[in-house]
Structure 1
């Protein structure tokens, strides 16, 4: 998901392996991963497992909260995220927060990978 958000569809084997590892961390089955990779082309939408939909919606609501220092992404501003949750009266579980943090760490890595090229 992080790779798709940062770069678009997966295009090479290394990206497919990283995506597979991310999906496994989020609880995807081998069948889920296989189906996603088959459908993940430039012409297809990104598939989200239903149980992860609230996390993705949360991520998209706060994806403007990434912090940068001298052009390097340092991650999301946790205090801003907490304030956003409180002020918007949305409720998330600790498990969803754990998944959000994992997703934002993956996105941070993806955003910074652009600097390495």
Structure 2
């Protein structure tokens, strides 16, 4: 499988958002250079692919307070699954929760550096 790709519009939006929060042009350039590996290939086991897709679909459900990721909106994820009539197993739900917990930790770790 192929990793997520950022297009130039997404990179510009990210740069604009960073500048709103006071990042200098040098900070933005350095950060964008550090993201060059986002197009790297990675392998996903076939049985995990539905959960990876689900994770990507609900990646807008992270909650933030003062720049710190405080978790995810689980009721929002449940509502999204219900409205989309998503079929999922308890194993997929558990995997999604694991991915979300890991993402929260990673997002917050990046804030510390």
Bin for the TM-score computed over the shorter chain: 0.5 to 0.7
Structure 1's unaligned 5+ residue stretches are 6-41
Which runs of at least 4 in structure 1 moved beyond 4 Å after TM superposition? none
1:59 has 2:59 as partner: no
- Give the aligned CA root-mean-square deviation in angstroms: 1.6
Query: Matched residue of 1:52: which SS?
Result: helix
From 71, 75, 84, give the equivalent of 1:75: 71
Q: How many residues align?
A: 78
**CA distance in structure 2 between the aligned counterparts of 1:100 and 1:114, rounded to whole angstroms:** 21
> How high is the TM-score relative to the length of structure 1?
0.62
TM-score by length of 2: 0.64
Larger relative contact order (CA 8 Å, sep ≥ 6): 1
